[in-house]
Structure 1
Amino acid sequence: MPPVPSETAGFQPSNDESMSNKLESLRESSAKRVMSDIDLDSDTDKKAIKRECRTTNATVLIPCPLVAHGCLREVAYDELDAHYLSSIHQECIAKAIETQAKKSNTVPECVDLLTDAVSCLHNENIQVQNTAIELNHAVTVFGNQIQSLKSSIEETNQFMSASQTQQSLLQTEMETMKEKINELSTQVCNDGTFIWKITDVAQKISDAIAERQTSIYSPPFYSSSNGYKMCMRLYVNGDGQARRTHLSLFFVLLRGEYDAILDWPFSYKVTFCLFNQQDKRHLIDSFRPDPKSNSFQRPRTGMNIASGIPRFCPLTSIHQANSPYVRDDCMFIRCIIDFGNMAKTMIPYVCSLNPGLPVNVQRSLLQAEAARRNEEIPVTSAEEEISAKKTI
């Protein structure tokens, strides 16, 4: 049983009449205090019941106002005063007082908890605000960095664009320089003759058959240091009606720096020689330009239309195993421009000369051979003239 409050504990029942009166007075005051803490609606109902009981029947049973704290549910109205002084009612009063005390103690604790919670929320709110300020600052910094990066990217793009333009110009200049270097490298071939070395023949044949690249051009060469500029064009798998049956070899006039002071149309005999790398039985063929053809007029564009010998060499001679014209996947083709009306019989001799000899030595040998043959020609011509006269 819970302890009786100090107010009540100091006054216990006694045979002394004054003490009894004081105890009764204290109990009544305690009951009043407890009754004031009971739910208003319930208290109003109970008062109504009491009034009804006073007006109707004094023996009616009613619940004790402290029934919620364990007191009796049925008490005769005329016995209420005696019940209030009973030990059970006093114990319920003590319980009620203890309950109210706990409630009164709980309120400050709740207030303290709420205060602490509000304080924590306030601190968290301050922290959130500080974090928001830091984030805003970080966003500003990042925004500045992004703007700086955008500016850097724009500058980089402009630099890259300028670099690409510069690279394109450099590439063009390099191509021009390569062409000039090629031209300078072939300037030594300024006597109207040029030997073209063709490498990777098998690959070029494959490309021509697959029509990836049907023709190839030789480097340019010149008739003299201030003369005609020209090159050769080869169809490895044939061209036109000679396609898939013969090598087609053509002569091409290129636009040169001295064309304005040269004689046109180009009218000099052109000879092609495919070297036999096994012996000196080279494949030789020639043609004379048609003065009426546009191929031999002064070039108005980079190059004229190619003209030459469509059926220059049967492809079977090239494709056969151990072909004498193809060794180590290479072919050699020579172009000779005849500016001096060379005898046809001298062409094989010219092609048989060692290309490794200096040009002046080759010319000396050629002149000696021409002189030797000229000594034999008059005798033969005189005999033929006498024979012709006898026939007449």
Structure 2
Amino acid sequence: MATTMLRRIVMRVLFEKRIVQQFRKPFLCPYCHEEHETKEASPDRGIARELNMVIIVCYLCSWNGSYNDYLNHLKDMHANLECADCHEHFSTINLFEEHRQELCIHRSMPCGLPNCANSIKWYDMQAHYVTDQHQYSLIMIILQYISSNHDKSVITNRSNIIIRELMDIQENVNLVFSIYEILLKDSDRLKTELSQIEILLNQNSSETKKLEECNHENEKAKKELCDCKNCLEELLETTKRDIEEIPSLILDSDATVTLRFNYPNSSLFSLDSSKFRTSEYGYIFTISVRSTNEAEKWYLSIFLTLYNGEYSNLLSYPFSFPIHFVLWDQSNKQQHITYILKPDPNASAFMRPSNEKNEEFCIKNLCSLDAITDSKSAYVKDGVFFIRLFIDFFNVGENPFQSENYLNHNEFISSKSMLTE
């Protein structure tokens, strides 16, 4: 092993020496033929540009033209110089010598070792270094070098340098191996994590499928709910239309109507009646019974509203017929509370409605609120009270509730019979 290492050392020294000598060889300029220590000369491009502007006449024939064309002409017509190794032709001696000395890969070169091959092809030089002839010549030089009285300190220093280099290489190798072991561990860990990730991905994939199925079911349920909602909306619209089509209350043959209200057991309330008509094609009204406060006292007030009906254009306005409001006494004592409204022809509440309805007309303070809030009230029975209306179309001045037929009739006195009605 020591012989092999020494052989490598000597080969390296000789090779470096040969390379240095080769680079220190003087350079011969192909134009002026002047020798230089290094190849520092380079063609002048300015001259080449100027030559391209000059018409040149061939010295070998009658051809003339530009400089570039002249070079091509020489190469095509007068390339008489042939490389003996690669058989490439050249028109000038300078190009030919440059090719032979530096460019031709088939040129022959000396080996550099004494007693070795005289000339070797340039492309065979690497293969020649491992031939038996070259190795034999190298060994002979080594033996001569060792047998001579050469200063061994040079070899020792060189050996120490090589040993240090080898130690550095060994440290680098150890470092690389330690890093390699870390990378191996990381690789194993990453493989484990990869397998876990694949498992999680499979689980997520299955869960995603389940979620998609649930989403599909939810979409189906949502669609069913939407259909149900649409059905309910249609049913609601139908119900609204049915409610609108429900015939309003119409005054009896004696021009009276009875309105029923549920008492809310509260001092603050507002109760609306259903619409009622004076006739099938007559005026449309509603009343609202509310609790009102004035001067720190509570009263029962009635608000009358005139509506715009489908036959309003056939009716005469302003509405001018007296209306009798009666809070009905359910105790058979006939102590009804009556208010007679004589419409003001100038009041907007009784003009022809231009919108759905006119503004309300307030009958303030019909009676004290105690009349219905008192636990012993004669006007409230079983949580119900009644307000009866009479519209005096013929200006008789007396409401039919005051006649003997009404006074002796118990149909409207009993709240039970009214509830049944």
**Larger RCO: 1 or 2 (CA < 8 Å, sep 6+):** 1
Q: TM-score, normalised by structure 1?
A: 0.48
